[in-house]
């Protein structure tokens, strides 16, 4: 009696289906996790604090000897003293906030819900951050950080120096405690640049006037005060050129709703592309979405040119500023400019430019079309 041969009782398990996860290409597996920050990593922060305090002894000498003793104007003395030290206090307040606040923790298990059904369960702070006119897009599925072994919300990047992901990471700053500037600290960073730039302009204008007075009235003032005037005038002009240019650049980024990484990395657009049209050239097959190293020179040029006018998160300069700095009411920017503030939303989802999907579809079609004509 013959029996049919049966298969083994223990069959090897079938290959698991591929996970719908898109690994980020800006991260390397071979990079070791960073060690704890050493004491010398805070030396740039110490240098930044010294630079902020360095002109104040000479500034007090100029205010006392020139405005109080020579001009005999206590009102001008008190006005200049109040303005300079108010801006200095606000700058240090923003600096302390940047150092004390986490730039953007990523915790997928505690992501707040902002749907209409969960409005009743919000606490007071979440209700203040909620908005009706800007409805955020849902998080793109499948984004995963292979270093943190966790999901990556929209606009989140992994900082190799900090060894973690940061929500809406703008850049890593060695001058500010070797920390990242992210969703929760970017508005304080803008406030810090604003205060330092305004203080530098004010000190430069104040001391240039004093230098002019010293040269036109050499016998009306002592011989040491003009030296402090010249030193502060050059110091204020140099600080204005350095921090002012950086401040103007970030004003442009806020107005167009871009981060430094997004503005300097045009190939981040590839992550947002829809599925590419059918590709006939199998010798140069592109992934979906395409990776940067897969693109030819002509395709890279197309992406770079599209980067100049395709801003995915630009929803108009008013809403951009309201979203980044965090205000809803008219003239709310005045309060934020005075005391600073935090960004609007949870840092995980962001409203999209209504034209972004069409522009991304055109970019995907153009990438394939350029490949056919090569």
- 43-96 pLDDT, tens digit per residue, is 999 999 999 999 999 999 999 999 888 988 899 999 999 999 999 999 999 999
Range with top average pLDDT, 1-10, 149-158, 200-209, 318-327: 200-209
**Residues 166/186, Cβ–Cβ less than 8 Å:** no
For residue 126, give Cα distances in angstroms to 49, 191, 291, 325, 345.
34, 23, 37, 16, 8
User: How large a percentage of the chain has pLDDT more than 90?
Assistant: 46
Report CA torsion sign: 64, 68, 74, 77: negative
Give the whole-angstrom CA distance, residue 199 versus residue 206: 10
Give the whole-angstrom CA distance, residue 141 versus residue 271: 12
Range with top average pLDDT, 102-116, 233-247, 315-329: 233-247
pLDDT at 85: 94
Closest of 362, 358, 365 to residue 286, by C-alpha: 365
- Helices (DSSP H) in the chain: which residue ranges? 43-53, 56-62, 74-100, 124-129, 186-216, 225-256, 260-264, 297-307, 317-321, 332-339, 356-373
pLDDT at 227: 93
pLDDT at 358: 93
Cis amide bond preceding 348, omega within 30: no
**Residues 274/364, Cβ–Cβ less than 8 Å:** yes
Question: Within 10 A of 125 (CB to CB), how many other CB atoms are there?
Answer: 9
For residue 65, give Cα distances in angstroms to 58, 160, 232.
10, 51, 14
Whether 285 shows a pLDDT value over 50: the answer reads yes
Structural domain spans, the chain: 38-106+140-256
pLDDT band for position 236 (cuts 50, 70, 90): very high
pLDDT at 335: 65
Give the whole-angstrom CA distance, residue 347 versus residue 166: 9
Whether 206 shows a pLDDT value over 60: the answer reads yes
pLDDT at 220: 86
pLDDT at 33: 54
pLDDT band for position 219 (cuts 50, 70, 90): confident
Report CA torsion sign: 87, 93, 98, 104: negative
End-to-end CA distance of the chain: give it in Å, rounded.
69
Average of per-residue pLDDT across 254-267: 94
Closest of 244, 357, 243, 258 to residue 317, by C-alpha: 258
Average of per-residue pLDDT across 183-188: 91
Whether 15 shows a pLDDT value over 60: the answer reads no
Give the whole-angstrom CA distance, residue 240 versus residue 357: 40
pLDDT at 326: 75
Whether 20 shows a pLDDT value over 50: the answer reads no
User: How large a percentage of the chain has pLDDT more than 70?
Assistant: 75
**Residue whose tokens read 């003293």:** 81
Average of per-residue pLDDT across 233-252: 96
Average of per-residue pLDDT across 311-340: 78
pLDDT at 148: 82
Angle at which helices 225-256 and 186-216 cross, to 10°:
150
pLDDT at 13: 47
pLDDT at 229: 93
Give the whole-angstrom CA distance, residue 67 versus residue 58: 13
Q: In three state form, how does the secondary structure of 30-76 look?
A: CCCCCCCCCHHHHHHHHHHHHHHHCCHHHHHHHHHHHHHHHCCCHHH
Closest of 35, 54, 51 to residue 43, by C-alpha: 51
Question: What tens digit of pLDDT does each residue of 115-161 get?
Answer: 334 334 444 344 333 433 344 444 444 578 888 888 889 899 999 88
**Residues 244/252, Cβ–Cβ less than 8 Å:** no
pLDDT at 294: 86
pLDDT at 35: 55
Whether 187 shows a pLDDT value over 70: the answer reads yes
The one catalytic residue in 159, 173, 180, 207 is 173
Whether 196 shows a pLDDT value over 50: the answer reads yes
3-class secondary structure, 92: helix
pLDDT band for position 37 (cuts 50, 70, 90): confident
Average pLDDT, the chain: 80
Assess whether 162 carries a catalytic annotation.
Answer: no
Give the whole-angstrom CA distance, residue 202 versus residue 213: 17
pLDDT at 77: 93
């Amino acid at each position: 009696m013959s029996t049919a041969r049966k298969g083994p009782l223990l069959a090897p398990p079938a290959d698991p289906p591929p996970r719908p996860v898109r690994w980020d290409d800006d991260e390397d597996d071979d990079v070791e996790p960073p060690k704890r920050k050493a004491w010398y990593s805070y030396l740039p922060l110490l240098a930044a604090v010294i630079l902020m305090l360095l002109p104040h002894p000479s500034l007090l000498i100029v205010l006392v000897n020139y405005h109080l003793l020579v001009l005999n104007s206590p009102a001008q003395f008190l006005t200049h003293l109040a303005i300079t030290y108010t801006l200095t206090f606000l700058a240090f307040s923003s600096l302390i906030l940047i150092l004390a606040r986490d730039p953007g923790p990523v915790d997928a298990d505690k992501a707040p819900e902002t749907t209409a059904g969960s409005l009743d369960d919000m606490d007071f702070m979440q209700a203040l951050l909620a908005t009706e006119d800007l409805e955020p897009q849902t998080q793109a599925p499948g984004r995963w950080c292979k270093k943190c072994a966790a999901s990556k919300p929209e606009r989140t990047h992994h900082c190799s120096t900090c060894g973690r992901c940061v929500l809406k990471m703008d850049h890593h700053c060695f001058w500010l405690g070797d920390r990242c500037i992210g969703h929760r600290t970017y508005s304080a960073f803008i406030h810090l640049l604003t205060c330092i730039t305004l203080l530098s302009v004010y000190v430069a204008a104040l001391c240039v006037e004093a230098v002019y007075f010293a040269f036109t009235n050499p016998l009306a003032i002592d011989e040491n005060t003009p030296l402090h005037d010249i030193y502060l005038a050059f110091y204020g002009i140099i600080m204005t050129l350095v921090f002012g240019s950086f401040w103007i650049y970030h004003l442009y980024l806020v107005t167009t709703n871009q981060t430094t990484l997004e503005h300097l990395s045009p190939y981040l657009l590839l992550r947002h592309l829809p599925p590419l049209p059918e590709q006939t050239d199998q010798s140069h097959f592109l992934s979906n979405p395409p990776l940067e190293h897969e693109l030819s020179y002509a395709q890279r040029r197309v992406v770079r040119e599209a980067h100049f006018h395709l801003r995915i998160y630009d929803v108009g300069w008013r809403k951009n500023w309201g979203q980044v700095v965090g205000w809803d009411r008219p003239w709310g920017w005045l309060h934020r400019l005075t005391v600073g503030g935090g960004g609007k939303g949870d840092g995980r989802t962001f409203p999209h430019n209504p034209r972004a999907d069409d522009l991304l579809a055109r970019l995907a079609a153009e990438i394939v079309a350029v490949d056919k004509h090569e």
